[in-house]
């Protein structure tokens, strides 16, 4: 009986302690209370996010974030973050949301939650012009004689290693470094996301590169948030439905993906 009473007392003690711990507030309420939405992004992935000549972060994602804060009635804080530290920055609450053209993968989904996909892209190749007669498809690059590049820690790197395992692969910290290896003739092909490559060939590789523009992967992009925030998730998915329905998403898509006027204002 004594042991039973002790056990019962411990059970009530644990229950009281659990009831005394305040419930974790959904980040959506924190954003509204703070009066600001903090968005982590790496401004080096055009046209999703980049830096203009005045040092401002601009692009498709920042424009979408601007629409978000208008609906939320709060201010926007863009937090420039290196790609390899962007998930840790979210998890340590340096920001509320990742909006940086991030592909939804199983590995990332173990650490963070994602909104519904807001775009689907795929991997493509930018090829040295003098190889145009020899390489007609990305599959032709799967040969030890070819040197291919991509950005470290991205789905471009994953795709390069998965689909072109025989090629001589090198990774780089930034897109620009990997791309310029090909532009300067030090590598044969740059493997990366189709939207970036479509812009990069006009900005850096005109007359020097060939764009193998048929994607060989399907990659859904999502906005990343910390786990355990169902209200924020619901709001984000509702926002996505709204902007696609009212035409504002399509307007921004035309601005950044179907037009290159913004290139004049890029550093």
DSSP states of the chain: -HHHHHHHHHHHHHHHHHHHSPPPPPHHHHHHHHTEEEEEE-TTBTTTBEEBTTS-EESHHHHHHHHHHHHHTSEEEEEE--GGGHHHHHHTTS-SEE-S--B--HHHHTTSEE-S-SEEE-EEEEEEGGGTTT--SGGGG-STT-EEEEETTSHHHHHHHHH-TTSEEEEESSHHHHHHHHHTTSSSEEEEEHHHHHHHHHHT-TTTEEEE-S-SS-EEE--EE-SS-HHHHHHHHHHHHHHHHHSHHHHHHHHHHS--GGGGGB-
pTM here? 0.80
Q: What pLDDT is recorded for position 1?
A: 45
Q: What pLDDT is recorded for position 180?
A: 93
Equal fold, 27-120+220-259 vs 123-217: yes
Q: What pLDDT is recorded for position 68?
A: 98
* Strand arrangement, sheet containing 36-41: 75-80, 36-41, 97-98, 224-225, 113-114
Q: What pLDDT is recorded for position 205?
A: 62
123-217 fold: D-Maltodextrin-Binding Protein; domain 2 (3.40.190)
Strands 168-172 and 75-80: unpaired
Residue given tokens 């930018």 in the structure block: 126
CATH superfamily of 27-120+220-259: Periplasmic binding protein-like II (3.40.190.10)
- Give me the tens of pLDDT residue by residue for the chain, a chain 267 residues long: 434 444 444 444 434 334 433 445 799 999 999 999 999 999 989 899 999 999 999 999 999 999 999 999 999 999 999 999 999 999 999 999 999 999 999 999 999 999 999 999 999 999 999 999 999 999 999 999 999 999 999 999 999 999 999 999 999 999 999 999 999 999 999 999 999 998 888 776 678 899 999 999 999 999 999 999 999 999 999 999 999 999 999 999 999 988 888 888 886
Both structure tokens of 91: 């998890």
Spans of all domains in the chain: 27-120+220-259, 123-217
Residue given tokens 């890029």 in the structure block: 266
């Amino acid at each position: 009986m004594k042991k039973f009473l002790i056990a019962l007392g411990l059970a009530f003690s644990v229950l009281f302690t659990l009831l005394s711990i305040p419930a974790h507030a959904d980040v959506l309420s924190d954003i509204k209370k703070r009066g600001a939405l903090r968005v982590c992004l790496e401004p080096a992935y055009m046209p999703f996010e980049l830096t203009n000549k005045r040092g401002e972060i601009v692009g498709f994602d920042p424009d979408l974030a601007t629409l978000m804060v208008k609906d939320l009635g709060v201010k926007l804080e863009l937090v420039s973050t290196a790609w390899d530290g962007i998930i840790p920055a979210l998890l340590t609450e340096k920001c509320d949301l990742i909006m940086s053209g991030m592909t939804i993968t199983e590995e990332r989904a173990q650490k963070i939650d994602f909104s519904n996909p807001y775009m689907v892209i795929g991997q493509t190749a930018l090829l040295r012009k003098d190889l145009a007669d020899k390489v007609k498809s990305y599959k032709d690059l799967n040969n030890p004689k070819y040197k291919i590049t991509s950005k470290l820690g991205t789905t471009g790197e994953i795709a390069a290693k998965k689909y072109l395992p025989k090629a001589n692969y090198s990774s780089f910290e930034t897109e620009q470094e990997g791309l310029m290896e090909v532009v300067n003739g030090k590598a044969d092909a740059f493997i990366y996301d189709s939207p970036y490559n479509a812009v990069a060939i006009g900005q850096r590789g005109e007359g020097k590169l060939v764009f193998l523009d048929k994607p060989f992967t399907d990659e859904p992009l999502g906005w990343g948030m910390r786990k355990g925030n169902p209200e924020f998730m619901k709001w984000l998915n509702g926002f996505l439905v709204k902007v696609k329905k009212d035409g504002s998403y399509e307007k921004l898509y035309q601005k950044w993906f179907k037009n290159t006027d913004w290139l004049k204002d890029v550093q």
